[in-house]
Amino acid sequence: MATIRLGDEAPNFTTETTEGTVNFHEWMGDKWAVLFSHPKDFTPVCTTELGTVAKLKPEFDKRNVKVIAVSVDDVKSHQSWIKDINETQNTTVNFPLIGDESKKVATLYDMIHPNASDSMTVRSVFIVGPDKKVKLTLTYPASTGRDFSEILRAIDSLQLTSKYSVATPANWKDGDDCIVLNSVPDDDIPKRFPKGAMKVKPYLRITPQPNK
């Protein structure tokens, strides 16, 4: 198991899930993916997280993103837990949960951090692009539930910056101004950014979001 770094190919796997056998790369097709891990079934924070992601499915769909969760229990346990999630979170889980009792996927993605726990996964997030390359990783401890609106915000930035020569500043949200990459010469700005750019410093040029 090697450390997975940004830009690496997301390791492929074939595994059982609550929606049948999945080959990760084939399942992704030409879409983006969010692969995220949960310490254990029938735990409270995980229950709220999975319910939250189920409710956000239209937001992921809008962005052409498929979501898939991992927990180191088996599919039968997941199916039983899903009933609780649906009941308590007032939703319907609408994405696959990987049965990972062998810890195959957890090990492949280094989701078990022995100094946190040697049996449960931490809360890892891998955002993978349609080219199957890892675009973003996050690691949270078991006791801290994730903010999935931040994950959607990061996807907006990843998708925008993959198409335009911009970066997104602190606390940026879809629709906010962006930063022109320093690789773009001033002379190219009128052609590449027809809305113009404000030169605050030679290295800080602000432009309206190019695809809005």
46 is catalytic: yes
E-only strand ranges, 32-96: 32-38, 65-71
45 binds ligand BEZ (CB under 6 A): yes
Task: Select the span of 26-34, 40-48, 154-162, 176-184 touching ligand BEZ (CB under 6 A).
Answer: 40-48
Q: Strand 123-128 to strand 134-140: parallel, antiparallel, or no bridges (unpaired)?
A: antiparallel
Distance, in Å, from the CA atom of 69 to the CA atom of 37, rounded to the nearest integer, reads 6
Site for ligand BEZ contains 94 (CB under 6 A): no
State the CB neighbour count (10 A cutoff) for residue 53.
24
Q: Starting from the edge strand earliest in sequence, which strands make up the sheet with 178-180, in order?
A: 166-167, 178-180, 204-207, 198-201
Q: Which CB, 10 or 125, lies closer to ligand BEZ?
A: 125
The nearer residue to ligand BEZ, 127 or 142, going by C-beta atoms, is 142
Q: Judged by CB under 6 A, does residue 115 bind ligand BEZ?
A: no
Closer Cβ to ligand BEZ, 145 or 210, answer by number: 145
Residue 39 found at the interface with ligand BEZ (CB under 6 A): yes
- 162/156 Cα distance (integer angstroms): 10
Decide: is 40 part of the binding site for ligand BEZ (CB under 6 A): yes
The answer to whether 154 touches 128, Cβ cutoff 8 Å, is: no
Sole binder of ligand BEZ in the list 11, 31, 43, 176 (CB under 6 A): 43
Residue 46 interacting with ligand BEZ (CB under 6 A): yes
Q: CA 103, CA 204: separation in Å to the nearest integer?
A: 46
User: Which position among 142, 152, 155, 160 is part of the footprint of ligand BEZ (CB under 6 A)?
Assistant: 142
The residue annotated as part of the active site, out of 28, 35, 46, 69, is 46
Nearest to 70 by CA among 94, 44, 95, 106: 106
Residues identified as active-site: 46
**What residues line the site for ligand BEZ (CB under 6 A)?**
39-40, 43-46, 142-143
